[in-house]
A and B are shown apart, each in its own frame.
Chain A
């Protein structure tokens, strides 16, 4: 035990407080850094030394600063980010789709109602060429609306397809980055260095990846592995495995891991949401529209065939014959060019309106799925409306959960300026006191050195 020991304690204490201040400064500096977890300076007592009957402390040791991180909470955040990725992306897509079914002067419901109104109008004056022309115009408006909606749905499908392609590219980029960070972390940890900063970076990357696909993070002890929830490997330690987007026979991009098609296996993340709208919602709507368009053209053509036009000839087709299978909504057109060719007459006389009752009856006819055309269309509006409102409710709910989890994470790992300010003062005062210890020891030493002088 001697003055030099005391000096040693003082100097180590100066360094420790300085180090603690550096940690504080780093915390403050990273206040707004995404993914940053606050660090705590690790101050421990120095090993005691025994001096005869005495055991004395040897001052403070400044250890590796520790990141304050809750790994389980981070996993929950990844999970919920995936849920939100899915509900948000499908909400955005469905909101675009539902504008096509929103009531306006030109929506399908209005067009249908108008066509039946024109039929009634004509029945009061069946030989009027003006009213016949109005009926033809209304019919081609209806056909045009079918074409337009089906074209726009196809466009939205294509856009979603592009999104999927870009999403897959992003997934690959993120997987590669995560693998790279994994390598750096392993390298640092092998030489017992602190990899906290890199782990923060990796967490941010994992969160970005969760936005896109449903991933599971598996701690392998030495590193992490990332797979999709159904087990397709994306990252294993320092290695990443790229997914591929390839055009499927159906004409849309499917996601492949090697040769395996994993498109249908994705259950969360924005890719899953986009794929669900692309492969289920939009095709479902198109199928319904095709059914309606096809049944309407068949019914109107059949009605035309039972009557006679203004010239007493048997009526020809009003609409184009629907294609077998899908595509009726895209293909439907009015093939009748001459308003005189509308088969209003049931007896061949130009003034007869008898056959128009066959046209008017279509309004009440069980045309598609046992429903009248307008009932069926009303069901389609309900279908898209409730899908959108459900996606909206899910997005709101997962947004709320995500905010609560983020709150919890911030409570655990976020930098508090109050805390850092208090620490700054604490470490500053300790530094001042240590400095005083050093200068006091210095005075004592100079007293001791001067003992022999006279």
Chain B
């Protein structure tokens, strides 16, 4: 059988093929990625779309977790200050209930109580990054405003609503408590209590009743405070869960999309060898015919 006398096109095709292999390997090594365009591995490319969506979402959840943690910490420490102030109110109330105090002593206690009332109101009006922490969802204006028409002297402008924020694929967390719920539970209205106590101390009448209301408010606040501790704890464990999830997504991306550098380098060497061999074969073939030997 006659053989193909002009194998040059075949050799050129082989050269092009080795060159393509070299380029592919080089691109993989340079970019570190195996799937550069969807056709490189359609199934992996499709999963990578979801993987990157997951990574973006997880990164965002982590960001939100740290945002919320900062806010909740401020709220928590504000409540601590409230608790300290209320303890001082209780101490003063107990002192004032002691019948041996002079009028002027009680007057100064009443003055301090009014000061504490103001301090408590301002604590309840604590804001974080421009929003008020204890106004429910009406958080753009101070929730507690001085109002002589109110029995307690302060008016609650907030509402009773709460926000919850998504911090995981299927995990949302309530992130605020309305001031009314913390400070003004029925029969345990802090501001009413302190206001009444100051008045009772001045008049030296009905101190125990007022004191009882403050104590009830104190208990209520202490109970509500657990909310913030819990939320912070949940955020903490969610953070480590999210970090773990992010790591797994990164590993999946690596498995799906990253170039196997060892394989790519060895591909490169193989392609180079093949290319050199093809070049050598081509060059020897180009000057080799019977004509070269006829003189």
Contacts and interface: CB of A to CB of B under 8 A. Distances in A.
B137 A385 contact: no
Contacts of B166: 120, 123, 357, 360
A84 interface: no
Contact of A351 (B5, B9, B139, B164): B139
Interface stretch (B53-61, B183-191, B239-247): B53-61
B137 A352 contact: yes
A449 to B, nearest CB: 40
A125 B67 contact: yes
Contact of B5 (A347, A374, A414): A414
A113 interface: yes
17 contacts: A31-B6, A116-B56, A123-B64, A123-B165, A124-B68, A124-B71, A127-B139, A345-B137, A351-B135, A352-B137, A357-B164, A374-B50, A375-B50, A403-B13, A417-B289, A419-B5, A421-B289
Interface string B38-54: 11111101111110110
Across the A-B interface, the 8 shortest Cβ-Cβ residue pairs = A385-B38, A351-B139, A385-B42, A416-B5, A352-B137, A388-B39, A421-B290, A117-B60
A415 B2 CA distance: 11
B165 A117 contact: no
B59 to A, nearest CB: 7
Interface of B: 1-7, 9-10, 13, 36-43, 45-50, 52-53, 56-57, 59-61, 63-64, 67-68, 71, 129-132, 135-140, 159, 161, 163-166, 172, 175, 289-291, 294
Contact of A378 (B10, B47, B63, B290): B47
A112 B61 CA distance: 16
Interface in A67-111: 94-95, 98-99, 101-103, 109-110
Contacts of A350: 137-140
Q: Output the residue of B41, B136, B163 with the most chain A CB within 10 A.
A: B163
A354 interface: yes
Given A127-B140, A375-B50, 10 more contacts: A117-B60, A124-B175, A126-B163, A127-B130, A349-B161, A384-B39, A410-B5, A416-B5, A416-B6, A425-B294
Contacts of B38: 98, 101-102, 381-382, 384-385, 388-389
Mostly, the A contact residues are helix
Given A382-B46, A418-B289, A419-B5, A124 B56 contact: no
Interface of A: 31, 94-95, 98-99, 101-103, 109-110, 112-114, 116-117, 120-121, 123-128, 345, 347, 349-354, 357, 360, 363, 374-375, 377-379, 381-382, 384-386, 388-389, 392, 399, 403, 406-408, 410-412, 414-419, 421-422, 424-425
B161 A411 contact: no
Contacts of A126: 163
B130 A128 contact: yes
Contact of A125 (B56, B57, B129): B129
B45 A351 contact: no
B53 A411 contact: no
Nearest to A112: B53
A378 B4 contact: no
Contacts of A385: 37-42, 45-46
B57 to A, nearest CB: 6
B49 A349 contact: no
Contacts of A120: 57, 60-61, 64, 165-166
A353 B291 contact: no
Q: Output the residue of A117, A360, A363 with the most chain B CB within 10 A.
A: A117
Contacts of B10: 403, 407
Contacts of A419: 5
A117 B64 CA distance: 10
A406 B12 CA distance: 13
B290 A103 contact: no
A374 B55 CA distance: 13
Contacts of A352: 137, 161, 163
A353 to B, nearest CB: 5
Contacts of B140: 127, 350-351
A121 B64 contact: yes
Nearest to B33: A103
A103 B48 contact: yes
B49 A421 contact: no
A121 B66 CA distance: 11
B39 A103 contact: no
